[in-house]
Amino acid sequence: MSHTSAPGPRTAPAPDRPFPVDRRSLAPDLARGVMLLFIALAHTHLFTVFIGGPENIATAADQITVAGTVMLVDLRSYPMFAALFGYGLAQIHRRRSEQGQAWPRSRNLLRRRGLWLIVFGLGHTVLLFPADILAVYGLVSLLMVGVLRLRDRTLVILAAAWLPLAAVVHALVTTDNALTGGGMPSMPDGFVNELLFRLTLFSVLVVIMFVSTLVPFLIGVLAARHRILERPHEHLRLLRATAFVGIPLAVSGGLPLALDKAGVWTDATPGDVLVTSALHQVSGYAGALGYAALIALVAVRFTGRQGPVTNALAALGQRSMTFYLAQSVAWAVLFSSYTLDVHLTSPAIGVGIAVAVWLTTLLLADLMRRKGMRGPAEVALRRLTYGPSS
C-alpha cells in the first residue's frame, strides 16, 4: 500500500521591506558622499552661467576654474550618480529575488518607487532647481525596469548602441548654442518668473539628461550583477584598470572643450565644437566609472577600520537624496532674487561656495549619524514605496 504525504503549507512570499541600513556596503555610500561635492561644484558653476552669463571669465583663477570644471566635473559626476542609481536598482531586484519575490511584484514595487521619485523631482524643480535628477531617475525606473532581467551581454550591447546617440545629442546641443550664441538663459527676477524659468528649462533638460543617463545606468546594473562595489576586494584588477584608465581619459577627452570654454582656444569652428563636445560626453562616462572605481579601492583599504572622515563621508552618502535636496535649498537661499540675491559671476568664487555648502552637509550628515537619525527624504521615499512599517 503506497502512502502519499499531504502537501505542506505554501510559503508566503516575504513582505516588502527595504534593506537594513546597518548592512550597507561602504563603497557605494562613500562614492555618493564624495560625488555630492562634485554635484555642488557643477551646480554652482551652473548658477554662474544663470547669473553672470556664459563662462564669465574675469581672472586667471576663473579661467583655471572653468577649465578644471569642464575636465573633472561636468558630465563626470552626473554619470557616476546614474551608474550608482542603476547599481542600487539592481540590488533591490536581486535581494527581492533572493527572498523569493516574483518578478511582477518586484517590478510593481520598483515602478512605484519610480513614480514617487518623479513626484519628488517635480517638486524639487518647481520650488528649487531646474536641473533635477530625481524625476529623470523615476522615468528610467518606469521605462527601463525590464533591463534588470536581461543577460549581461545584452546590457553591454544596449549600452554600446546607446553611447553614440548620447554623444551626438550632447554635441548637437552644444554646437547649436555656439552657432546661435545661446546656451543657458539668464535667471529672471521674482518668485513667479523664477518658477516659470525652472519649469521651462527643465522641460528641455529632462530629455537631454534622460539620454545621457542610460549608458551609465546600464553599466551600473551590470556592475551590481557581479557585486563589484559590495565586494571590491574580489575585483581589484578591474577596479585598478578602470580607475587608472578612466580618469586620465576624462581629463584628456575634456581638455579640448576646456580650452574652448576657458577662452584659450579662441578660433574653434562649429565643427570643432561638435567633435570636442561628443568627445567630452564619451570621456565623461569613462571618468565617472574611473571615479567610482577609485573610491571602491579606497573603500577596500578602510572597510572595517573607518576613521572620522570615512564615517562622515559614508553618512553623507547614506543620506544622499536628503542632502542633494538640501544643496538646492542652499542655492535658492543664496541666489534667488527674492532671498539673498547673491550675484555670483566668478566661477572661482563659486568653487569656494560649493565647497562650503558641501562641508556643511558633511558635518550635518555626521551629526545625524551620531544621533542615529536617517535622512528625512530617504525615510519618506521608503515609507511611500514599502509602506508605513518600513
Query: What total number of domains does the chain contain?
Result: 1
The range of the structural domain enclosing residue 235 comes to: 55-307
Instruction: Please indicate, yes or no, if residue 1 is contained in any of the structural domains.
Output: no
pLDDT tier, 178 (very low <50, low <70, confident <90, very high otherwise): low
**pLDDT score recorded for residue 20:** 55
Instruction: Please indicate, yes or no, if residue 19 is contained in any of the structural domains.
Output: no
Question: Which helix (H) or strand (E) covers residue 370, if one does?
Answer: helix 347-370
pLDDT tier, 303 (very low <50, low <70, confident <90, very high otherwise): confident
**pLDDT score recorded for residue 157:** 97
Per residue in 189-224, is it b (16+ CB within 10 Å) or e — as a string?
Answer: eeeeebeebbeebbeebbeebbbbbbbbbbbbbbbb
Instruction: Please indicate, yes or no, if residue 10 is contained in any of the structural domains.
Output: no
- Could you give the CA distance from residue 262 to residue 225 in angstroms, rounded to a whole number? 41
- The pTM of this model reads 0.90
Quick: pLDDT tens for 80-133. Answer: 999 999 999 999 999 999 999 999 999 999 999 999 999 999 999 999 999 999
Instruction: Please indicate, yes or no, if residue 368 is contained in any of the structural domains.
Output: no
Average pLDDT over residues 165-190: 77
pLDDT tier, 48 (very low <50, low <70, confident <90, very high otherwise): confident
Instruction: Please indicate, yes or no, if residue 215 is contained in any of the structural domains.
Output: yes
* Owner of C-alpha cell 554635441: 171
Quick: pLDDT tens for 308-320. Answer: 999 999 999 999 9
- Could you give the CA distance from residue 260 to residue 243 in angstroms, rounded to a whole number? 26
**pLDDT score recorded for residue 50:** 84
Instruction: Please indicate, yes or no, if residue 97 is contained in any of the structural domains.
Output: yes
pLDDT tier, 185 (very low <50, low <70, confident <90, very high otherwise): confident
Instruction: Please indicate, yes or no, if residue 43 is contained in any of the structural domains.
Output: no
Instruction: Please indicate, yes or no, if residue 50 is contained in any of the structural domains.
Output: no
